[in-house]
Structure formats: C-alpha cells, structure tokens
Amino acid sequence: MQPGLRMNEFPDRASGPAASQWISWSSLWRGGLLALCIAFALSTELLFQFDLYENWPLADILLGWLDHFVDQLIVGVCIFVGIAVAALIPTNSTPGKQLLFLMAITLGALAGEALLFLRVSLPPGISVAGVLFAEVARWLVIGGLAYVFFVFQRQGAEAATKTHETELQRIQFDRQMTEARLQLLRAQIEPHFLFNTLANVRQLYRTEPERGRRMLGNFVAYLRAALPQMRHDETTLKQEVELARAYLEVLQVRMGKRLNVRLDIPQELAALPFPPLALSTLTENAIKHGLNPLPEGGAIEITARAEDGRLKVSVADTGAGLQRNSGTGAGLANLRARLAALYGDSGNLAFEANVPRGIRATIVVPLRGAGVGGD
C-alpha cells in the first residue's frame, strides 16, 4: 500500500460506513496528466482553423494557440482540484459518488471560467451568464466522458488485480496439492520398502536364527537413521548413499557372498540435495528383481556424476537383466511421480541394459549446489 491521500476508493468499493482506503499519489499524477492532455487536445482546435493561416503569420497563430492552451489549462486545473476535493468527501453509495463528482466538475468549470473573465474581459453586449452556461455545459460533457474513462480504467485495473490474486491463489492451491500428493506417495513408498525388508528378516529368522538376529540388529540401526529422513522432500546425496549402504549391509547378512557392493560417489557431490528414499527404492528393486532370481547372486554398483547441469545417480546390477515388466513396479512408479512433482520435466528415471549383464537405473535431477562443475 503506497502512501497518499486517504479517501474512499473510487469507484466505490466500501464495505461499510467506515470503510476507507488510501489512494496513491500515482493516481493523482495520472489524473493530473489526464487533465493536462484534455486541455492540450482542446487547445489544438485553434490550429485547425485553416482560414487563420491566410490572414495571420505562423508565429502569431502559435502565440494565439499558446494563450488558448493556458485558458484551457486554467479551467482544467480548477476541475481537477474540484474532483480531488470531492474525493475527500466520504460517500457510501455509487449514485451519490457520481453526483458528487458531476457537481465537482460543474463547480470547477464555473471557477475556471470566472478566472478567465478576470484575465480577459468579454466584449460589450455578450451575456456573461450565457457564456458561462455554454462553457460549463461543454466542460461537463468533456469531464463526464473523462470520468467514465477513469471509471473504466480503474475497473480494468481492479479486474487485473483480482485476476492476479486468483492466479496466486491457484498457484498456492497447486503447491498444496503437490505437497499432499508427495505425502501420499511417501506414505505408499515407506510401507512398500519396510514391509519387504521385514519379510526378509522373518524368512532369515526361520532358517538361520543367529544370522536373523544380526540382520534385525542392523535393520533397527538402519531404521533409526532412515525414519527421520522419510518426512522431508530432500536430503543429501551422502545421506541417501549411507542409507543404501545400510540397507545392503542388512541384506548381506542373508545373501553372504552372493552380494557384492561397490560405491563410486565423488566427494564434491556428497552434499548435493537429493530426493529421500530414491536410492533405497532402486537398490531394493535391483535386489528383488535382479540378484535374487540368480543362484549365484551378483554385484550392485552405485555411481554419481555431474553432467550438463544435472546430477545423475545410477544403480547398476549384474542380475537377471531387462524383463518385460522392468521398471513398472509400484515403488518405481511412485518414485517417478515424486520426481515429476519435485522437479517437473527436469527430473526423471530411466532404465537401460547394463554391461555385461543386468540393469542400470539412473535418476536425473537438476544440479544445485555451489562449487560443483560438470564433466
């Protein structure tokens, strides 16, 4: 809200007898500029009387036009002052406000024309009242048209403001919907991830209780580190890698030599933001669909690279390879939806064949962080 004169908003938007707002100085400047333009436009009528150019030199015509412009400007200023004073008078109805402004135009025109009579006397035999009536009527028509123009201009500005406010409300609503969708997706991912892990613990307890206890202890330690991060939209790449490492250590209790793990995470990328549970989801998918079906198991490699302003994090396995339903599970579908909600088109999840065998899943997100360069 800009500093200015306190007055009822024009046109009327008062919601009660005491409702009043501040009108900015810029509105007064616009009104004064409008009065100046009207006075200038009216004064140019003298320049279009072409018979003058046959009897008078151009310099005299221009001086006459300047004198006429001053006359019009005097009346215009009087009308503008009248309107400004009328705006200070509180009114609670639109018809009353319109009548008040018409009276202000009339009184301003009378005052302006009276000043002109003091400046230049009328020739003998010309009725002052008749001239005043004709001139005031002319100014009333001109001022009424200017008033209508101002009303429509103000209503257009108000409509634009309301449209802008509506757009801001829509953006805020979309953001709230996105946050709600992220919460729902996280609520779906967390049980999917945790229940599968607990199923592995239960199975190992049945077959090898001692190893099952070890696995459960590692799993509890993992949960203590993982659960606080599940409620955030972003963690860091280092935290995600540590969670994936903890998860794989839990599974190594059961799989033994059937699981080999290799991590290649450059130190300068460790502090970059990264969506929570993303690596855990890919690692779980690699174990479940890649290595578990093979009696000999295999290896999992987690790598990170910064390329072309994007952070690319891959989970590659030497498992069963691409299948018809690869990349279509519920956890991966939710991960894709989370990436789209967080990053739009800048975030995605892609699958490709790994060499010499298996699948490489790659998460791509925008690269954010100081002092990080691409390859």
Report, as an integer, the average pLDDT of 64-87. 79
- Specify if 102 maps to a domain: yes
Report, as an integer, the average pLDDT of 81-99. 76
17 shares its domain with 91: yes
- Specify if 185 maps to a domain: no
For the record, the structure tokens of 94 come out as 């639109």
pTM of the shown model: 0.48
With beta carbons less than 8 A apart as the criterion, state whether 109 and 140 touch: yes
Of 6-10, 82-86, 101-105, 269-273, the range with the highest mean pLDDT is: 269-273
275 shares its domain with 353: yes
- Specify if 293 maps to a domain: yes
| Range in 3-12, 129-138, 274-283 with the lowest mean pLDDT | 3-12
pLDDT at 256: 82
Nearest-angstrom CA–CA distance, 202 and 198: 6
136 shares its domain with 226: no
pLDDT at 348 over 60: yes
202 shares its domain with 147: no
pLDDT at 193 over 80: no
DSSP β-bridge partners for residue 364: 312, 348
pLDDT at 141: 78
pLDDT at 137: 79
Nearest-angstrom CA–CA distance, 153 and 159: 10
Which pLDDT band, with edges at 50, 70 and 90, does 25 fall under? Answer: low
CATH number of the domain that 346 lies in? 3.30.565.10
Report, as an integer, the average pLDDT of 327-332. 65
Element (H, E) at 311: strand 310-317
- Specify if 371 maps to a domain: no
Query: Residue 322 belongs to what domain range?
Result: 196-366
What is the per-residue pLDDT across 208-251, written as a single tens digit (0 to 9) for each? 788 778 778 877 877 776 666 655 656 889 988 988 888 888 77
Q: Can you state the angle between helices 237-255 and 209-226, rounded to 10 degrees? A: 170
Q: Which of 170, 204, 230 is the last residue of a domain?
A: 170
Which pLDDT band, with edges at 50, 70 and 90, does 72 fall under? Answer: confident
220 shares its domain with 89: no
pLDDT at 314 over 90: yes
- Specify if 77 maps to a domain: yes
37 shares its domain with 131: yes
DSSP β-bridge partners for residue 344: none
pLDDT at 30 over 60: yes
pLDDT at 338: 80
Determine the 3-state secondary structure of 234 from DSSP.
coil
142 shares its domain with 252: no
108 shares its domain with 201: no
What percent of the chain shows pLDDT beyond 90?
13
- Specify if 88 maps to a domain: yes
Residue 7 or residue 173, greater confidence: 173
What is the per-residue pLDDT across 277-312, written as a single tens digit (0 to 9) for each? 788 889 988 988 889 888 888 999 999 999 988 999
Within 8 A by CB and 6+ apart from 1, the residues are 22
Within 8 A by CB and 6+ apart from 130, the residues are none
What is the per-residue pLDDT across 140-191, written as a single tens digit (0 to 9) for each? 777 777 767 767 777 777 888 888 888 888 777 766 665 655 555 555 545 5
The number of beta carbons lying within 10 Å of the beta carbon of residue 358 is 22
56 shares its domain with 151: yes
Tally of residues, the chain = 375
Q: Can you state the angle between helices 278-285 and 128-207, rounded to 10 degrees? A: 40
- Cis peptide leading into residue 57 (ω within 30°): no
pLDDT at 205 over 60: yes
Within 8 A by CB and 6+ apart from 296, the residues are 258
pLDDT at 254: 72
Q: Which of 153, 170, 187 is the last residue of a domain?
A: 170
- Specify if 176 maps to a domain: no
The number of domains in the chain is: 2
H runs (alpha helix) in 208-297:
209-226, 237-255, 278-285
148 shares its domain with 225: no
* Range list of β-strands (E), the chain: 4-7, 21-24, 235-236, 259-264, 273-274, 298-307, 310-317, 348-353, 359-366
15 shares its domain with 133: yes
303 shares its domain with 214: yes
pLDDT at 88: 74
